[in-house]
Amino acid sequence: MNYLNEKTPPVREDRLGAGIAFGGLCRELCSVQREGCLNKASRSFSQSQGCQFTLSLAMTNSLRNAVIIMHGPIGCGASCIGSAGGSGTFKRLRDPKAEGLVWINTNLDEADVINGGENKLRESILRADREFRPEIIVVTVSCVPSLIGDDVDAVIAELQEETAASIFPVHCPGFKTKVMATAYDDVYHGILRSLVRRPVRREDSRVVHDDLYETQRRYRESRTVNVLNVGMMSRQDELELERLIEALGLKARFLPCYSDDDDFREALESSLNVSICGTHDDYFLEHLKELYNIPYIIDTMPVGRKNTGRWLTLIASRFGLEAEAKRLIDAESDMLDKALEPLRAELKGKKAFLTGGAIRVLATAEIAQDLGMEIVGLKGHHYDGFANVLFENLENVDDVVINIATQQPFEHINLAKRLKPDIFISHTGGNNLTAKLGIPILPIFSQSYNYMGYSGVYEIARRMRRLLFNSRFNLNIARHRRLPYRESWYEKDPFAYIKREG
Amino acid sequence: MSEIIDRPRYACALGGALFTLRALPRTAPIIHASAGCGYSLYGALSAGAGYLGGGYCGGAAWSSTNVVEREIVFGGEERLEEQIRATIELMDADLYVVVTGCMVEMIGDDAAAAAAVFRDAEAPVLAIPTPSFKGDSYAGYDMALSGLFRGFTRLGAEKRKDTVNLLGLVPGQDAFYKGNLTELKRLLEQLGLRVNTFFGEGETLDNLRNASEASLNLVLSDRYGIKAAQVFEEIHGVPYRVLPFPIGAAQTADFLRAAAEAAGVGTAAASALIYREEDRYYDYLERIADIYNDIDLQRYAIVAGDVNYAPSVSRFISDELGWIPKLTVITDQLNAEETAKVQSRFSGWESGVYPLIKFDPDTSAVQRYFPLAWPQSANERYYDSFSPAVVIGSALERDFALQYSLPLLTVSFPVTNRIVLNQSYAGYNGGLSLASDLITLLMSWR
C-alpha cells in the first residue's frame, strides 16, 4: 500500500469494503462481509452521527504543541468547545507543561463561498505560527472549502517556507464518506507525509566513536515497541499496557495521540508497531512497513483476558519471548481469576447489550462472557474484515443479534425493548435515549477509567457491579420522561429502514 | 466580511437553530446536511450549555439526512423527502422543522418544496434555511425564530393588550436560558402581563402558535432576537422594544420600569413590585455584609462574554457588589451599529466605575488587552499588582485564569465546567445567584 502521492486516502467503503448498515445475526454478518457487499447498504431514515471531520479532531486535538485550523464555516470544529477542557487535562497527564487546546476557525462566509477561502487560510496559518509558536499546524479541511475547490495543499506548500511549524492538511469533508473511521486514514496520511522522518543526528568527527554506546542504542531500538494508542484511551490504559510490555523485557512507546513533533521522529527507532484496534491503524502501519520496513501487528484489542493474552503472545513471538509471555499470562490470569470470583457470583447470568466501535464491542463482550454474563445484543459503528478475528475469543454468539450502525440509536432502542438487557455497555451518543429504558449504562470507553489489560477486566467488572447495585437514576428518568418514538416503531422490524442497495 | 477567529465561542447558524428547536416542546428538527453537522453541533452546544443534553429527541437522536457525495452531485431533495416521511412515521412530535446545512444550500436543494409535500400531514412540517456560511449560532436563533413566526405562528390573531413575548435569550448559547426566562416571566406576570417565552417552564407550542395575540415584543438583547422581532412586526404587526438583559436589583428595576411603560401597565405597578422585590433581595444580600467586610471581598475583575452577559455582569459587579471591573471583552461578531449600541450600555452606572471595553471575538483577546487594562510589572521594588482579582467569563478563559492564578466563574458560553439545571442569572433571583456564586468562588478554600 502506498497512497502518499495522492492528495487523500481512498474512503474506507472502497478501500476496505466497510459498511455502516446491517442488522442480523453474527454469523450472517460474517458471511455478508466475506461476500463484500456490506458497503452498499444505507438507510431511508437516519439520525445525526459523527463524520470524518469530527473524528479527525479526536486525533489532531490530542497532539501536543499544535494549533488546529478549522478550514470551513464557523460551525466546523465547534465540537472543540466541548472537548477543549478535557483535552488540556489529558495532555498534561503526558506532559505537565502542555498547553490547552488551541484552534482557529477560518470562518468562511457567503463571500468566501463565491471567492474562495484561500486568503483566510493563509492568514490563519501565519497567525497560528506567529502568535502561538507551535511545532505543528494541522489544517483540517471541511465540506465547504472542499466543494469550492480551495487549493489547500498549494497554500501550505507556499507557507511552509515561512513558518517554523510543520504544517499538514487533513482533507476530511464530511460528505465524502459514510464511514467516519476514514478519518484515521486522513490524519495518518498527513502525519506520514509531514511528521514521520528519520531524525537527523549530527556526525561529529572529533568525538571518539563509542562502540558500547552504539550497541546500547541499537539494543534499545531492537527492544522498543510502538503501541498505537487511540484518542479515547485513558492514561491508565497506557500504563497497564506499558507494565505488561515491560514485564516481557521490552520498552513501550505510545503514538500518535498525545504525541508531539519529536515523538514522531523517534517513532522510526523501534522494531515493531503494534495496533490496539484494527479500525484505527492499518493505513499508518502498512505505510511504515512499506517505507521504513518496520513490521507490525494488527490483530485483537487488549480488552479482555483472552484478548490481552493473545495480544501479548503475538508481540512476544516477534522477539522469541513466547515462554516468558506464557508465564506472565498465566500468572496474571490466576491473580485476576481470584479477584473476579466474588464479582462473578454477582454478575453471572446478567444480560448485556454492547454498543460502540465493532472491535471494541466484540473485545468487551469477551469480558462479559468471562464474568458469566449473557450477550443479548451487539452493535458496531461500521464493519470490515478487521473485526472478524475478535469472534475467535467469543463463545456461542453465532445466533446473537448484531446491528451495524454509526450511532442511529432508534435501532438499538427497538432491539433493547425486545431483548430486555440488564445492562448496556454503551458508546457516547444517544444515551439520553438509552437511559429512558431504565437500564444502567457502563460507558464502553472513557479517558478517565482503565479498560485495557488485566487490570481493565477487573475495573470493568467492579464498575458493572456498582452500576447494577443501584439503577435508580435511569429508572426515574424512564418513569418520568418518554422516548420520542411512536409505539408502532416497537412492533416493527428494528432494521426496517435499512436499504440493502444504495 | 467575516474574520478568522481564534477559538470561537459559538457554533454556526445551523447549531443555533438546532438548539432553538431543542428548547421547544415536542418539536422534531429534521437536519438536511452532511453526516457530521448535527452531532458535532450537539457536542459543542450541549457541553457549552452546561450539559444541556439531547433531551427528548436531540443529539444522536436528531433526524438527519446525512447526505454524501451522491446527493451532492445529483441533488438531495429526494433523500430529504424520504427522510421527512420516515421521521413522521417514526417520531412522535407536534411540529417538524427541516433545517439545512451548507452543502445542500450550495447545491441549491429546495427544502421548502420537500416540506410542502407533507402539507396535509397531521402535524405541520416547515423548512427553514440555516446555512452556516450565513452566520453564527446567534444568527441561527434569529433564522429559526423568524421561520417559525412566518410559518407556524397564527396569522390574524386578535391582539390582547396584556400579552407580551420575550425574545433575546438564545437557548444553549445562554446556558441559563430556562432559569432566566422563568425569573423574567415571574416578574412580568406580577405586572399583570401574560408572557410567552416559547422555551420557558410549562410552556407548550400553543405559546408560539398564539404569540401573535401579543401587543408587544420585548427583546432583551442588543443583538439577539432583533431580526426575529422585525419579522414578527412585519408579519403580525406587533411592535418591539429593545432593553438590556437585566442582572441584579438595579438593572431589574430599570427593566421593570421600561417594560411597564412599554406595555402600558403604568409605573405604579412597577414601583410597588420593585419595592417588594428589593426588600426581599436585600434581605438575602445583607447576609454577606459581615463576611464581605470581615475579610475584604472586594475584587478587581476581568469580564469576557457575549453582548447579553458581558455588559450586564460588568455593571452588576460595579454597581451592586462594589467591585472594580478593569477589562470587559465582548466576544460577538458585531457590525458598527451593534457595537455602538453595546458600548452605550457602559454609561449611567451609579458607581461611575467602568472597565476598559474591547470588542474582539478571539479567545486570546483577554490576554492581548490585559496589559492595556493594567500596567504590567517592570520589576519595580513596589508593584501595584492586579490582585485580588477574579475572571468572569467562559470555560475558554481557563488558560488565562490559570496563568495568572485567578479564580474563574463561568457564566457565558461555553460553560463546560458546570452542570446547569434551573439556575438563573437574570432578574433579582439571578443577581442573588451571581453574588452567591462569585463569593463562593472566593470562599471555597475554607
pLDDT at A210: 83
CA-nearest of A483, A352, A365, A345 to A414 is: A483
List the single best residue of B9, B26, B32, B39 to mutate versus A (max A Cβ within 10 A): B39
According to DSSP, the residues that pair with B217 across neighbouring strands are B165, B240
Of A51, A430, A488, which has the smallest distance from its Cβ to B60's Cβ?
A: A430
pLDDT at A197: 87
**A320-372 pLDDT, tens per residue?**
999 999 999 999 999 999 999 999 999 999 999 999 999 999 999 999 999 99
Q: Is the pLDDT of residue A200 over 60?
A: yes
CA nearest to A405 within chain B: B60
Cα distance from A99 to chain B (closest Cα, Å)? 8
Q: Judging by beta carbons within 10 Å of its beta carbon (0-12, 13-18, 19+), is residue B156 exposed, middle or buried?
A: exposed
Contact A277, A301 (CB under 8 A): yes
What cell numbers appear for B177 in the block?
A: 436560558
List the single best residue of A14, A42, A48 to mutate versus B (max B Cβ within 10 A): A48
Contacts of A249 (CB under 8 A, 6+ apart): A223, A321, A324
**A216-268 pLDDT, tens per residue?**
989 999 999 999 998 888 999 999 999 999 999 999 999 999 999 989 988 89
Contact A84 B38 (CB under 8 A): no
Count contacts between A and B (CB, < 8 Å): 251
B269 vs B186: CA distance, rounded Å: 14
CA nearest to B413 within chain A: A81
pTM of structure: 0.96
Cα distance from A197 to chain B (closest Cα, Å)? 30
Domains detected in chain A: 50-194 (3.40.50.1980), 211-325 (3.40.50.1980), 342-499 (3.40.50.1980)
Q: Is the pLDDT of residue B219 over 80?
A: yes
Q: Are strands B389-393 and B356-359 parallel, antiparallel or unpaired?
A: unpaired
Q: Which helix (H) or strand (E) holds A126?
A: helix A118-127
**A371-408 pLDDT, tens per residue?**
999 999 999 999 999 999 999 999 999 999 999 999 99
CB-based burial, A109-122: b 16+ in 10 Å, e otherwise:
beebbeebbbebbb
Partners of A105 on chain B (C-beta within 8 Å) are 4-5, 8
Q: What ipTM was reported for this prediction?
A: 0.95
Q: Is the pLDDT of residue A502 over 60?
A: no
Q: How much of chain A, in percent, has pLDDT values that exceed 90?
A: 88
Contact B59 A48 (CB under 8 A): yes
Of A75, A77, A409, which has the smallest distance from its Cβ to B61's Cβ?
A: A409
List the single best residue of A20, A47, A437, A485 to mutate versus B (max B Cβ within 10 A): A47
Q: Is the pLDDT of residue A203 over 70?
A: no
pLDDT at A361: 98
pLDDT at A40: 87
Band of pLDDT at residue A202, cut at 50, 70 and 90: low
For A180-223, give the DSSP string: TTHHHHHHHHHHHHHT--PPP----TTSPP-HHHHHHHHHHHHT
For chain B, what is the mean pLDDT?
97
Partners of A429 on chain B (C-beta within 8 Å) are 39, 59-60
When pLDDT is averaged across residues B388-413 and rounded to a whole number, the result is: 96
Of B12, B62, B106, which has the smallest distance from its Cβ to A147's Cβ?
A: B106
pLDDT at B194: 98
Domains detected in chain B: 13-151 (3.40.50.1980), 297-415 (3.40.50.1980)
Contact A175 B69 (CB under 8 A): yes
pLDDT at B26: 97
Q: Is the pLDDT of residue A13 over 80?
A: yes
CA-nearest of B338, B337, B400 to B369 is: B400
Contact A75 B14 (CB under 8 A): yes
Grid-cell match 507556499, residue found: A158
List the single best residue of A11, A45, A81 to mutate versus B (max B Cβ within 10 A): A81
**B48-92 pLDDT, tens per residue?**
999 999 999 999 999 999 999 999 999 999 999 999 999 999 999
Contact B61, B54 (CB under 8 A): yes
